[in-house]
Amino acid sequence: MFSEFLQYLFTGITIGATYALIALGFTLIYNASHVINFAQGEFLMVGGMATVSLTAMGVPMLLAVVLAVILAGVLGIALQRLAIAPAKNADVVTLIIITIGASIFIRGLAQLVWGKEYHVMANFSSDEPIQVFGAVLNTQSLWVLGVGAILVAVLVYFFTRTLTGKAILATSMNKDAARLVGIRTQVVLMLAFMVSALLGSIAGIVVAPITFTSYDIGIILGLKGFVAAAIGGLGSGMGAVVGGLALGVVEAMAAGYLSSDYKDAVAFSMILLVLFFLPRGLFGAKVVERV
Amino acid sequence: MFKTITRCASKFVAIAAVSLLAMNVHAADPIRIGSFLSVTGPASFLGDPELKTLQMYVEKINEKGGVLGRQLELVHYDDAGNASKARNFASRLIRSDRVDIIVGGSTTGATMAAVPMVEQARIPFISLAGAVVITTPVKEWVFKTPQSDYMAAVRILNDMKTQGLSKVGLISGTGGFGSSGREQTLKAVKEIGGIEVVGDETYSGSDTDMTAQLTNLRNVKGVDTILNFGFGQGPAIVTRNYDQLGIELPFYQSHGVASDGFLELAGDSAEGLRLPASPLLVPESLPESDPQKPVVEAYKSEYEERWDAKVSTFGAYAYDGLMLAVAAIEKAGTTDKAAVREALESIQGHVGVTGTFNMSADDHNGLKADSFRILEVRDGSWKLIN
Amino acid sequence: MAQLSQFRLKGLLILAIVIFAVPLFITNPFHYGLATQIALIAGAVVGLNLLVGFAGQISLGHAGFFGLGAYFSAITTSTYGWSAIPALVVGAIGVAIIAWVVGRPILRLKGHYLSMATLAVGFIIAIILNNEREITGGPDGMPVVPFDVFGWELSPFGQYTLFGMEISGDLAWYLFAGVILLVAVWLAQNLIDSPIGRALRSVHGSEVAASVVGVNTAKYKSLVFVISAVYASVMGALYAHYQGFVTPAIAGFDFSIILITMVVLGGMGSTIGVIIGAVVLELLPQLLADFQDMEMVLFGLILMLTMIFMPKGLLPTAANLLAKRRKKSAGGDV
């Protein structure tokens, strides 16, 4: 009985950590610009697909990862500079539609360049799973969790200890005030898109050995990341992490104990429950108050 | 007088020449083959090889002089796996492009959405999708080339029985293929007898981990084999999770993953699993006496040479569809739709890649369950079992 | 205000002329099919525009309501032999109740929470339609009987007489869908000019100000959300009858995104504008079909560029441009 529970938990936390990283990306951009960036999943796809195709061309794994992350970062900057910045007086809804257009465009390009097949990425370390109290843990899950934890720690440091991080935070609180104290808000916006793209692509790379990767993997993972961000209160970093983990665990538990047919429906009804009973999300209100 | 006669005559000749020329032009009008396929979207691994196959063989047939002395022209659209789009494109093919026959419909949903239009317009339609509903009950103008999922289920369950297995843990995708496969498996279990489904789990096409479902199945009391019905990357993830969990039960998959691409994705974890498939994956293991051997070998080598990619079972559905269409048009000696339909329905002993087709008024598929071969993965490649 | 209504009436008149002029340019029944679908989808978009353009709220799950209406009609008429109109009405009432239950608590909150709630509701509807194979036919969909009124059937494959003229089923369906769209637009415009509409516009302007002068903003927003859901449900039901076949894709997230994109692309708040949005977004894939592998790239690029350079949407931007030019030429005269 316990081993079953543990098995579901492992599954849930692994995929939940991925959701959390994507949700953090959503949150960053949402805070900086109030835009829900529907191209977030594409950063994930670019990370995974670029790594796979570079290693297939003979580039060493580590270098391929670095290049893929840089590519995603450049893409993030390009998205902000070329698509979001020029439409500066547009409604937030219009900006959201622009990100949808961008995601279709990026996906279309990926399909042209990399093709439509699914690709395999080898586990970073041993293929031999670890046995824990009768449950099985894939070594790659440890990588996902470890990398996720490091990224979160780096982000916390970035936002609380560095000037740039504080500038981004300040801009997200009040754009005009930030501008008044001399923060260049356009640069901040660009940074937010870049950091969010870096996060997404790293998530895409560490999770690729578990999920495989293809040109359209970003659609559903991006969406799940958005759901996680919404559960966490859209705008709270802590909320994104908890929302992601909660979503992953609930999905796995629902598949295990309730009905695999309706596990996704259970995940989506979590949004409704949170909105009905904790309208600011799990952590939304706290962050706003702290300011 | 003479002058007028010659003038008249020359006029006549000129007119005759022009009309002859016009007739010639008419006779050389290409035969238009319409197609709507899921070239992009979640079912692109069906539509992509199907389109490549159609393009390649239309070219090849044209190089050899076409059909009935006329060139073939392929008019195709990408429905992206969306049934509404499929219906629109079927309508466009029939009413705007005025094609002579349709070979297409990668998924059951796309096919069924186009069926009312096809039946109404009275145009022969060869579907490349698998579900039983397409040709059962028989629809006058609708044919299909893949074996039905019911036959696949029967073939798998019979193989299980010969292995002495009787309690099946079933896991299936919630997409069209998996969902229909699940239903047909449950039906086949009742009809065959002596075997039962003891666990029933599903996963959605976009799921990235099926450990929870497999853990549930493993824990069902008495389960002695597991069957996965699904296609796309999902079954590959199931296979890997199966291996990671260390489940030792005999493992069966459906024909939905009968491709070398699946072996690449699943890697070592696919070792030992069995599935029903067309002989396309194991042409060299076929006995010389097998009538399908030359057809299968030719298709495989031609496809791989042209596209520098592995053949897939699904591309073969399009090959068979096109060849059946050509055979029917040749047999009918015309592209008259009713005549072609008649000819299609009376095709007997047509050796294709998927199997040998024997169409009749009550059977618009024309294949038997034994056209599926049972394959097993050994040392990273397919082995013919029977 | 009278001037405003007059302006709206003019819009309705132009729309009517366009709708009835289209058959003069169509020779191919395939094009009637497209035009019919565009008209029905445009009807749903007009409803969605009430929510986006006048209540300032986004729905990311409107296809869920569209699909629910479609499937309710499909199942009750095809499986249980109901007549089309009662099926459509009962389905719309059911959708209205769901929208009210979801919208009422969430619309009390300020901000874009409705978008998340509708996203969830849309997904849940699509999952149910996909999984309940016994009732809905599952992912492969189910056939739908033709639309009928008191035993009289309207099928795109039929032949009909109208004012003594023989017309094809395709044309008949197109005319029917065109009239439905006109009614949808007329109702929407009446709503906009009604006290509810005025209250709504004040909500969109400044919610605080509106509530200070005693407008119960949450109630009005919920009401308009329900109305937009009913629009989607009714159009979905008609769409199902017209297509003769439904699959869960019409309730899916992709279609929700397409619907909201039509609104923003055409011009939020402009009823005629969003219809143009629907026309463009439905025709674009047909035009791009010949580009094959490039289709997705081009579609994304066109969508992105249009929104970057015409952030207000196609119609408002064009109208602005026209107004500017007129001003300029007027200035030149002086």
Name B169's bridge partners. Answer: B199, B226
pLDDT in tens, B167-201: 999 999 988 889 999 999 999 999 998 999 999 99
Q: Right CATH number for A2-290 from 2.40.128, 2.40.50, 1.10.3470, 3.90.550?
A: 1.10.3470
Q: Are β-strands B167-173 and B196-203 bridged in parallel, bridged antiparallel, or unpaired?
A: parallel
Q: What is the ipTM of this complex?
A: 0.87
Q: Would the pLDDT of B8 be above 70?
A: no
All residues of chain C having their beta carbon less than 8 Å from the beta carbon of residue A288 are: none
Q: What is the pLDDT of residues B75-85, one digit of tens each?
A: 999 998 888 88
Point out the residue among C29, C130, C245 whose CB comes nearest to the CB of B112: C245
Say how many Å lie between the first and final Cα of chain B, rounded: 85
* Encoded tokens for C221: 């927003």
Contacts of A271 in chain C (CB under 8 A): 116-117, 119-120
Distant-in-sequence, close-in-space partners of B39: CB < 8 Å, separation ≥ 6: B47, B48, B51, B78, B80, C292
Q: Is residue C304 part of a domain?
A: no
CA distance B109 to chain C (A): 4
Q: In the prediction, which pLDDT does C325 show? A: 83
Rounded to two decimals, the pTM is 0.88
pLDDT, one tens digit per residue, over B20-30 is: 444 444 556 89
Which residues form the domain of C209?
2-281
**Side-chain-side CA neighbours of residue A181 (13 Å):** 11
Top pLDDT among B213 and C199 is at B213
Residue B234 confidence (pLDDT) above 50: yes
Digit-coded pLDDT (tens) for A61-100: 999 999 999 999 999 999 999 999 888 778 888 898 899 9
**Is B213 at the interface with chain A, CB within 8 A?**
yes
Residue C311 located in a structural domain: no
CATH number of the domain to which C230 belongs: 1.10.3470
Size of interface A-C (CB pairs under 8 A): 121
Residues sharing a CB contact under 8 Å with residue A129, sequence separation 6 or more, in sequence order? A136, A137, A138, A139, B244, B246
Chain A residues at the B interface, defined by Cβ less than 8 Å, are 4, 7-8, 10-11, 14-15, 111, 116-118, 120, 127, 129, 136, 138, 207, 210-212, 214, 216, 219-221, 252-253, 255-256, 260-261, 264
pLDDT at residue C98, as a whole number: 96
Residue with tokens 């795109």: C156
Looking at CA atoms only, how far is residue B52 from chain A in angstroms? Answer: 13
Does residue B229 sit in helix, strand or coil? strand
In a domain, C182, yes or no: yes
Q: Hey, what domains does chain B have and what are their CATH numbers?
A: 31-148+292-370 (3.40.50.2300), 150-284+372-384 (3.40.50.2300)
Angle at Cα C22 formed by Cα C16 and Cα C24, nearest 5°? 120
Phi, psi values for residue C317, rounded to 5°: -65, -45
- Summarize pLDDT for A111-167 with one digit per residue, the tens: 999 988 889 898 898 888 888 888 889 899 999 999 999 999 999 898 888 888 888
Segment holding C274, helix H or strand E:
helix C271-288
Question: CA-CA distance, A210 to C188, in Å (whole number)?
Answer: 50
For chain C, what is the domain count?
Answer: 1
> CB-based contact (8 Å) between C86 and chain B?
no
pLDDT at B369: 84
Of the pLDDT bands very low, low, confident and very high (cuts 50, 70, 90), residue C91 is very high
Tell me the CB-side half-sphere exposure of residue C41, using CA atoms within 13 A: 28
* Chain B residues in contact with A8 (beta carbon < 8 A): 211-212, 215
The predicted structure's pLDDT at residue A59: 93
Contact C247 B109 (CB under 8 A): yes
Length of chain A: 291
Confidence tier at C195 by pLDDT (50, 70, 90)? confident
Q: Assess contact for B53 and B303: CB atoms under 8 A.
A: yes
